[in-house]
């Protein structure tokens, strides 16, 4: 699903964010990326979503070489990806319904279809009663769950989450991670960047640790690794 081969990323200002990354994440896998801030976690996610382009090496997402995706095609490419952010980035002047429905509006779905899917997504994060509320009237945890609903409403193949629990207390963080697990169980490949190592370890998933732009360790239960590669084959 996701394969990095000798990938380097140097920003225009000379900052070497990633150095010689080799990585394979199978379809349907759930992977945590950890490391201190500045280690390159966000950059890794940005490269996958084509927000930035890598400077050397090769990235293949679902058989698609990212070098070959022309700029004009990036929007279509991104419609198969769902995003989650630390600061949830909801639009405060729109209702929960409009926020969650945005990816579907972009993809040109009809209104009835959008309503159906938004309701389903909000139901999954147990926020259906808040469908007509505005984000400001929700608690931090609820806002984050709206963000989750928005990230999955268009049924993406890959879910990218950048510090999704950064602003949440441990209990809410745990719930959010469990939510991600649920989506992973229905086949979505999930990549989560997080520095909350204690919690990640308890979740028993594959962990990729970055340090100064390099992969430091590649930890995960062997069973999981095998399962992942079997699925890929």
Question: Helix (H, G, I), strand (E, B), or coil: what is residue 65?
Answer: strand
SS3 per residue for 104-146: HHHHCCCHHHHHHHHHHHHHHCCCHHHCCCCHHHCCHHHHHHH
- Should residue 75 be labelled a site residue for another protein when binding is judged by CB under 8 A? yes
Among 77, 134, 199, 212, binds another protein (CB under 8 A): 77
Sheet holding 2-10, edge to edge: 16-25, 2-10, 56-61, 64-65
Q: Closest separation between CB of residue 65 and another protein, Å?
A: 8
Alpha carbon of residue 165 to chain centroid: 12
Among 36, 56, 73, 202, binds another protein (CB under 8 A): 73
Among 15, 56, 107, 181, binds another protein (CB under 8 A): 107
Closer residue to another protein in complex, CB, 7/104: 104
Q: Which stretch binds another protein (CB under 8 A): 2-10, 35-43, 99-107, 203-211?
A: 99-107
- Should residue 103 be labelled a site residue for another protein when binding is judged by CB under 8 A? yes
Element (H, E) at 215: strand 214-219
Residue the block writes with tokens 């979503």: 49
> Is-contact 163 86, C-beta < 8 A?
yes
Closer residue to another protein in complex, CB, 9/215: 9
Longest dimension (CA), the chain: 49
Q: Closest separation between CB of residue 117 and another protein, Å?
A: 9
Query: Interaction with another protein in 168-187: which residues (CB under 8 A)?
Result: 186-187
Binding site for another protein (CB under 8 A): 27-28, 49-51, 62-64, 68-71, 73-81, 83, 89, 91, 102-103, 105-108, 110, 113, 150, 154-157, 186-188
């Amino acid at each position: 699903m996701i394969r990095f081969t000798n990938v380097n990323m140097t920003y225009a200002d000379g900052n070497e964010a990633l150095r010689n990354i080799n990585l394979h994440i199978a379809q349907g896998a759930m992977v945590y990326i950890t490391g201190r801030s500045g280690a390159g976690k966000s950059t890794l996610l940005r490269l996958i979503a084509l927000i930035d382009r890598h400077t050397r090496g090769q990235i293949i997402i679902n058989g698609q070489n990212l070098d070959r995706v022309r700029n004009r095609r990036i929007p279509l490419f991104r419609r198969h990806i769902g995003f989650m952010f630390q600061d949830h980035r909801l639009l405060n002047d729109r209702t929960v319904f409009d926020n969650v429905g945005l990816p579907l509006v972009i993809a040109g779905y009809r209104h009835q279809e959008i309503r159906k899917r938004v309701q389903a997504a909000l139901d999954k994060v147990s926020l259906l009663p808040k469908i007509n509320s505005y984000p400001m009237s929700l608690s931090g945890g609820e806002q984050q769950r709206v963000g989750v609903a928005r990230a999955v409403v268009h049924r993406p193949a890959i879910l990218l989450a950048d510090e999704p629990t950064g602003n949440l207390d441990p209990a809410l963080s745990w719930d959010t991670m469990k939510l991600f697990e649920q989506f992973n169980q229905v086949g979505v490949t999930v990549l989560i960047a997080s520095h909350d190592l204690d919690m990640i370890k308890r979740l028993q998933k594959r962990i990729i640790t970055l340090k100064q732009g390099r992969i430091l360790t590649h930890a995960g239960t062997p069973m999981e690794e095998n399962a992942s590669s079997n699925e890929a084959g």
